[in-house]
Amino acid sequence: MNNHDSKSAMTEPTSDDDVLPVGVNSLSDYAPNKLYLLLTSSVPIDITTSSGVVVQTDSSNNNNNNNELLPQKRSSKRRSFIRYFIPINRTRSSSIPVDPAKSDGFGAAYYQQSRGPIQSIDPCDMRFLIIRHGERVDRYFGANWYMTAFDQNEQYRPYHRNFPASLPLRTNRYFWAVDTPLTSTGLHAAEQLGRLFQSRFFHPTYAYSSPAMRCVLTTIQILKGLGLENKIPIRIEPGLLELGAARFGMNVFFQPTDWHKYGINVDLSYQPILTNIPPYEREDGYYLRSKHVIREIEKRHNELSTDSQNILIIAHATSPETLTWDLIGKQPNIGDLYRLSLNIAYLQTVLTERQQDSKFWSVKPIGWS
């Protein structure tokens, strides 16, 4: 079922931008040069692989007593965070200070200390760069944003400069409630992240995205910042959806053919790993689904002849945890998954590498400064 027409609503924002969220005193609090989204220090932990946890990947286990497959030990909140990266507070007022006199308007001054490429100590033949999507419209303006952003004729009327300039049409406005786009700041920040990757000579060879609009838009903007939006088609993978995202069915999300109609470079030949996501799923089933998806991506790329592959994966706040636990041989944090996700900033990035000889995976810290 198609959820929108083939035309875009291209209404430009009005000058009425005096409506700010609670706790935000100025639009400068959301200026793109305040990127509170990247790692700035190394992770002081041992990331070597361990014996890990043996689990089944059969999809039949996703809804049946999965808590018996995975350990129920609750780790502390702090320990959970340090496993992968230093936590970054994602509250609205959080920001990285930038000297405006030295900034190019997008926070380049903060990153001028180091211009070297992203490097690996050990030779690797595959990298997964797992990134959370950018800033969500519904988290900025509230869950009912679409009730005031569209007029009685269903025309998009952005009344605030942090709304995106345009949105595709949908036949049912309530789909926006469960499939939100990015704010204007989120779009700009994602593009700037792509520019940052380019300045560090990180060139992805493939790009995967959750079908959620916020993830696809983030992928588009990152590739745009890299100058690769016309060279790397986006592979939309339903298996990357976060826990609970499919509770209203899969028809609320745009299909690859829908994005293609709007001129987006998507891989129409891509065969998804999973097509139907359980509408009701528990944390343990979500861990198993994520393991199956990331291992299948690895398997498919093993069959390619290229020497080294840099693979972008744009998904959700829980994805750095659920997509990497099996790769690096750690126990899943079933009890702490929700609290862990609350400390994952927009566009927070986790790099995992596979050693060329041993095929062991490890998490690598990213230090931009």
DSSP state letter for 279: S
d(CA 254, CA 243): 18
d(CA 158, CA 35): 24
Longest dimension (CA), the chain: 61
Cα angle vertex 200, ends 199, 203, to 5°? Answer: 95
Return the bridge partners of 28, or none. none
Half-sphere exposure of 355 (CA within 13 A, CB side): 13
CA separation, residue 196 to residues 40, 117, 222, 253, 316 (Å): 13, 10, 9, 29, 21
Helix (H) or strand (E) holding 107: none
Please confirm, yes or no, whether 132 is among the known catalytic residues.
Answer: yes
Please confirm, yes or no, whether 133 is among the known catalytic residues.
Answer: yes
- Asked if residue 190 lies in contact with residue 171, where contact means CB atoms within 8 angstroms, the answer is no
- Reduced to 3 states, what is the DSSP secondary structure of residue 128? strand
Which residue is catalytic, options 4, 132, 160, 292?
132
- Asked if residue 16 lies in contact with residue 159, where contact means CB atoms within 8 angstroms, the answer is yes
What are the contacts of 142-145 at 24+ separation with CB within 8 A? Answer: 142/21, 143/177, 144/177, 145/176, 145/180
DSSP string, 74-88: PPPHHHHHHTTS---
In terms of DSSP H, where are the helices of 118-255?
137-141, 145-149, 175-178, 184-199, 213-226
Antiparallel, parallel or unpaired: β 206-209 and 349-355: unpaired
Which residue is catalytic, options 83, 133, 160, 161?
133
Q: CA 264, 2, 269, 285 torsion: positive or negative?
A: positive
Which residue is catalytic, options 4, 83, 188, 316?
316
Please confirm, yes or no, whether 301 is among the known catalytic residues.
Answer: no
- Asked if residue 35 lies in contact with residue 104, where contact means CB atoms within 8 angstroms, the answer is no
Q: Write out the catalytic residue numbers.
A: 132-133, 316
